[in-house]
Structure 1
């Protein structure tokens, strides 16, 4: 069970426009589909796409990063509480010679966000919809991306990232479907919730050659009336579980507990570049 303050944080609105904010998204960020069908969930969802600056001029294939809470990734005008500045960061790196990646931003489902991002509902223990959400990513969205764009489709080139509940479903994806999502970025994961993802990793043994996991949380990070440091306290256990099933410390796992980290888009935006560099390294 979790406190009401965290439950409210987990269930953020799907479209929470920043009042009066002008768009901040770069020209190479577009909407792939305003209402893509999600057959496994019986819903639709807005999908964003970032293409590297040289995409139109090149013939290369690119890694793909699937990211949760698409509203908050590129544009302050659609963000709930600030944006990650994913496009600005990747455009800056591209200007310095980085080979780049395609980023697919999937909007969260508003009142359905918590259910879609958790295999078990935090407040009741009833089944969540994470498996159905992953079926959408794997059976519907990824085939569209691999068919319509020049992607590197293998697991070592297919990344998944998210924060808070979005981190839960991202890490869950890497554990349950390592054949698809070989590299995972999990920012401020509520690792104390059931099912325990460290225990699930020990059972499922997701390691495959080329797999990598980036974990980060704030040392004193909390939400509302939850205990200070609740996001950091179980991160070492997650690392231990990954090492136990074959991940190599430092090479395959990067675990950061940051002194001034907070549960916020500002913190996650600050950590995004490091996660990207680690997860896309050879």
Structure 2
């Protein structure tokens, strides 16, 4: 089996779940290198690269930004919700993914053909060696400060104003969604807890809820519930990664739900939790769960 090195991280191709050495820490530091570059592009015609190297002033970096527009965007004249999604490399195109794609465009195009009113999707590439720092407020293996607040500043102060200015969007929190998986889910939940005035609806797939700071405790302290807020949580019943115990992702999900309910979220109406028997830590699982998350988070 071939391996691609990135720093001290070794990743088996093509599946991100197969991490040699370092367990979850190695997974968190996954590169943004497009391991599948030789593959044919699978992105739909209504997916474009908005900016190949958008400046991130709060981080002093640049990042590729993807944009999905609903099929009827040019003709409808309507305004749309916006979904901000992490790990943009893996959302739309197998040719740029390092672990398979979510097929977000295919799913939303299929729903649009069936009458769904649609949403814009903004995909932000992860930062490779900076991925862990950007998606966590505290680094998992050292306890040192992360860069999640600076990353959120980029989303809130730079990216969202540009999207709202250039496209027909619904700008309020109830129509501003944020989603992610694994460390990207940590960032999405953190955004919903710390900035519910911006991100009113959160989709968190396979969140490592055992890490510090504990997001359930943060939710109890911050009390993020606002009218219209919603959270979708999903993990695999036996999901694991690296040398972590089986079921570690599902273990603390009920505690997270309890914390959200304690601060005002109504079960099933405002927070939905799924623990799936055959769920794995993979893009295939998250792709399968995306439609349900989307329907729940965009429903009136």
Q: TM-score, length-normalised on structure 1? A: 0.98
Residue 64 of structure 1 corresponds to: 82
Structure 1 runs not aligned, ≥5 long: none
Shift of 1:19: 4.5
Report whether the alignment pairs 1:111 with 2:129: yes
Say which of 192, 195, 205 aligns to 1:177: 195
Could you list the runs of 4 or more consecutive aligned residues of structure 1 that deviate by over 6 angstroms after TM superposition? none
Report whether the alignment pairs 1:134 with 2:137: no
Of the structure 1 ranges 246-255 and 11-20, higher mean CA displacement relative to structure 2 is found in: 11-20
Say which of 188, 209, 222 aligns to 1:204: 222
Matched residue count: 280
Q: Deviations along 1:211-253, whole A, 9 cap, x unmatched?
A: 0000000000000110000000000000000000000000001
3-state SS in 2 of match to 1:32:
strand
Q: For residues 48 and 176 of structure 1, what CA distance do their matches in structure 2 show? A: 25
Structure 2 runs not aligned, ≥5 long: 1-20
Residue 267 of structure 2 corresponds to: 249
Residue 77 of structure 1 corresponds to: 95
Say which of 255, 271, 275 aligns to 2:289: 271
Q: For residues 226 and 5 of structure 1, what CA distance do their matches in structure 2 show? A: 7
Q: For residues 94 and 81 of structure 2, what CA distance do their matches in structure 1 show? A: 25
Residue 236 of structure 1 corresponds to: 254
Q: TM-score, length-normalised on structure 2? A: 0.93
Q: For residues 191 and 224 of structure 2, what CA distance do their matches in structure 1 show? A: 10
Q: For residues 26 and 249 of structure 1, what CA distance do their matches in structure 2 show? A: 36
Of the structure 1 ranges 12-21 and 254-263, higher mean CA displacement relative to structure 2 is found in: 12-21
Q: For residues 29 and 194 of structure 2, what CA distance do their matches in structure 1 show? A: 23
Shift of 1:15: 2.5
Shift of 1:17: 3.1
Q: For residues 39 and 110 of structure 2, what CA distance do their matches in structure 1 show? A: 23
Map residues 1-16 of structure 1 onto 2, 5 A cutoff. 4-16=22-34
Residue 168 of structure 2 corresponds to: 150
Residue 10 of structure 2 corresponds to: none
Q: For residues 165 and 110 of structure 1, what CA distance do their matches in structure 2 show? A: 12
Of the structure 1 ranges 94-103 and 17-26, higher mean CA displacement relative to structure 2 is found in: 17-26
Shift of 1:141: 0.1
Aligned 8 A contact 2:37 2:96 in 1: no
Shift of 1:16: 2.1
Q: Deviations along 1:101-156, whole A, 9 cap, x unmatched?
A: 00000000000000000000001000000000000000000000000000000000
